[in-house]
Amino acid sequence: MAPFNGWIDIHGHFTPPISDSERESRWHAMRDAAFLVPEPFQWSPESTIEYLDHAGIAMQFLSNIPKSLDALKSSNDYAASLVKKYPTRFGLLAALPTNDPEACLKEIDRAMTELHADGFAVTARYNEVYLGDESLDSVWAELNKRNAAVFIHPDAYAPPSMGRPSPLIEVAFETTRTVVDMLYAGTFRKFPNINFIVAHCGGALPVLSGRLELLGAEPWVPNPNKITKEEIRNQLGKLFLDTAATAPTGLAPALHMVAPDHIVYGADCGVPCSTTQTMEENRMKVLGYGGLEQREREAIGRNVLKLFPKAAARLEK
């Protein structure tokens, strides 16, 4: 058991039960996309809890975003059953089908009234619809009304780029493109009550945030919503960034964009691109990062809990 028990992991994936043949089929599809995992991936809540105990993690938030509506709803149901069974170990980030605003609104209501979700998870580009698309304004308005926490994650199973799998670097650029598009679409201006948590320390966004602030409101940049230089700085600064697979080099630029209390712990657990070794190496680099005081580093493990009062209440029981 790690000595800093009580941390919260915002970035945990899961796989609903599937057949051996489906697992094998997915493995071959990944390898065809240059994602050369050595064997079919298998997930279980028991093995995840075993890792959480080893790492001193009190609770992990679960997210999984299938690309069909039926599979997405079924996945949300399964995750909700895990939270019911392990209420102090797991939290639910209900997936939303952001290519279909009407289906999104129905799933938000179902997630809150039937599944008792803690928050929501969205993909940067879901079935070719980006999160900055104006069709999603009604969805953001509903989440804004609910003061929701929304976890933004890129599509790690997108096609490879230049012969390398998407989870290596392309996820960082898709995240960046998406959040910048949301910025210029006025999403953060119009819906300030949503707490957005961005995976992988925001991808390449923190590195480019200074460039965006410097040049983003210049007259040669298309800017139909007239986003100002101050808004660029302030709205990016309101985001929460997780530490998944990015420490220590991702933390320095992240801390130029957001305050230390907006850095939250993420392990990127439950996916083929993460192993116990890589998650532990990343976690130890977070704990050893010299750009923060010890109390600030230790707080990374609990910063996110203020966004999830229902989960916090479960932990206190």
Q: Quick one: average pLDDT of 136-147?
A: 98
Share of the chain above pLDDT 90, in %: 96
Q: Quick one: average pLDDT of 104-123?
A: 98
- Residue 281 has a pLDDT of 96
Q: Quick one: average pLDDT of 123-140?
A: 97
Task: Name beta bridge partners: 149.
Answer: 195
- Residue 248 has a pLDDT of 84
Query: Which contiguous run of DSSP H or E holds residue 166?
Result: none
Task: Look at residue 57 and tell me whether its pLDDT is greater than 90.
Answer: yes
Q: Quick one: average pLDDT of 62-83?
A: 98
Task: Look at residue 76 and tell me whether its pLDDT is greater than 90.
Answer: yes
The β-bridge relationship of strands 129-130 and 125-126 is antiparallel
For residues 254 and 201, give the distance between their C-alpha atoms in angstroms, rounded to a whole number: 6
Task: Look at residue 312 and tell me whether its pLDDT is greater than 80.
Answer: yes
> Each residue of 175-201: pLDDT tens digit?
999 999 999 999 999 999 999 999 999
> Each residue of 227-273: pLDDT tens digit?
999 999 999 999 999 999 998 899 999 999 999 999 999 999 999 99
User: 38 phi and psi, to 5 degrees?
Assistant: -75, -20
Q: Quick one: average pLDDT of 148-164?
A: 94
Task: Look at residue 309 and tell me whether its pLDDT is greater than 70.
Answer: yes
Whether this prediction's pTM lies above 0.85 is answered by yes
The chain-wide mean pLDDT, for the chain, equals 95
Task: Look at residue 28 and tell me whether its pLDDT is greater than 80.
Answer: yes
| Res. 283 pLDDT band, cuts 50 70 90 | very high
Task: Look at residue 1 and tell me whether its pLDDT is greater than 70.
Answer: no
Task: Name beta bridge partners: 62.
Answer: 12, 92
> Each residue of 291-303: pLDDT tens digit?
999 999 999 999 9
- Residue 5 has a pLDDT of 67
Structure tokens at 316: 């206190």
Task: Look at residue 3 and tell me whether its pLDDT is greater than 70.
Answer: no
- Residue 2 has a pLDDT of 45
For residues 241 and 196, give the distance between their C-alpha atoms in angstroms, rounded to a whole number: 9
User: 104 phi and psi, to 5 degrees?
Assistant: -60, -50
Share of the chain above pLDDT 70, in %: 98
Question: 308 by DSSP, 3-state: which?
Answer: coil
According to the 3-state scheme, what is the secondary structure of 27-62? HHHHHHCCCCCCCCCCCCHHHHHHHHHHHCEEEEEE
Better-predicted residue by pLDDT, 132 or 317: 132
- Residue 317 has a pLDDT of 81
Q: Quick one: average pLDDT of 269-294?
A: 95
For residues 153 and 4, give the distance between their C-alpha atoms in angstroms, rounded to a whole number: 27
